[in-house]
Structure 1
Amino acid sequence: MKFLLALKDFLYDIKEFLIPIITIILTFITPIKGMLITTTLFVAIDTLFGIYASIKLGGIKSYKSSKLFNLVPKTFFYLSTIILAYLVNQFLIITPVWGIENLITKAVCAFWIYIEIKSLDETSMKLGNKSFWVLLKEAIRKLYSIKKDLSELIEPKNDDKKDEEEL
């Protein structure tokens, strides 16, 4: 019985010690929580899309949950490097670089998101789809042509202006 009471006291002491430390850590990383959540979501989307592609190409038997083991170290590594970049911004660089707060942190986050988008693109191409980048270029071209058509409709041509002046 004494052992259980001692264990209860020990766990209470640990709780009393850890809660403030965890609160301090969470408060410190609050400015980058959006970047951490975004990176985690991209990793999750890439994983789910990879599972979908695996099942679509090879059937349900081709899916192996043992391959998901890499998900945890990859996510931990991505988030750790973002937090490390934030620490560098806060304690080594201090002033904004080129007027942008947390530029290094944002660059590291953008790099990891780019890698995940590239992975999604490769998986999509395995399924027989066009590359995301090709689709993006086509969409930009279409938007540019729509903008050009709209500007031609809104702005009268020089010949039309001359005709109006003659009247």
Structure 2
Amino acid sequence: MKITLVLLAIITTFLTPIQGLLIIMFMMVMLDTAFGIYVSIKIESIKSFKSHKLFNIVIKLFFYLTTIILAFLVNKYIAGKMLFGIEYLIPKIVTATWSYIELKSLDESSMKLGNKSFWVIFKEMINKLKGMKTDLNELIDDKKEDTK
């Protein structure tokens, strides 16, 4: 028991620099899974939910987390800790890639419910913010002209 705890402590300490990346990936997979279950039940009723499909979470998490850890090892021992002035760049890129895939999966699940794509909503939000910025700039310019 003590040996197991010591080994677990060593591994945890070793992975501390990428702890946040591993947690982000874990949370993304859990969010996608929970939303996927919700969509499946909403569209096809509770009978569509099969517990044996949940085993895919284990495989997905193992693959994602292992590739992030391997990228960390490559970055630390082969490429050096810093790459282009960014600490642990390779595992950050790998995490961003897997996170994008999970976000895309969330987006597809959302669209199955008849919602707009996240990307369309994001573009509309950016356009509204640009419009607000233009309006604010006009107000500031008008205020400057009034003070002259």
Hey, which bits of structure 1, 4+ residues long, moved more than 6 A?
none
Residue 31 to residue 95, structure 1, CA distance change in 2 (3 Å): closer
Q: Percent same amino acid among aligned pairs?
A: 56
1:63 maps to 2:63:
no
1:22 maps to 2:8:
yes
Secondary structure of 2:85's counterpart equals coil
CA distance in 2, matches of 1:149, 1:40: 42
CA distance in 2, matches of 1:19, 1:26: 10
Residue identity in the other structure for 2:95: C
1:130 equivalent among 107, 116, 126: 116
Deviation at 1:66, TM superposition (A): 1.4
**Structure 2 matches for 1:139-150, cutoff 5 A?**
139-150=125-136
1:39 maps to 2:22:
no
Query: Aligned pair count?
Result: 148
1:54 maps to 2:16:
no
Q: 2:83 corresponds to which residue?
A: 97
Residue identity in the other structure for 1:31: P
CA distance in 2, matches of 1:18, 1:50: 35
Scaled by the length of structure 2, the TM-score of the pair is 0.94
Which of these two proteins has the greater Rg computed from alpha carbons? 1
CA RMSD of aligned residues (A): 1.6
Scaled by the length of structure 1, the TM-score of the pair is 0.84
Deviation at 1:56, TM superposition (A): 0.5
Deviation at 1:21, TM superposition (A): 1.8
CA distance in 2, matches of 1:18, 1:60: 40
Structure 2: stretches of 5+ with no match in the other structure: none
Structure 1: stretches of 5+ with no match in the other structure: 1-14
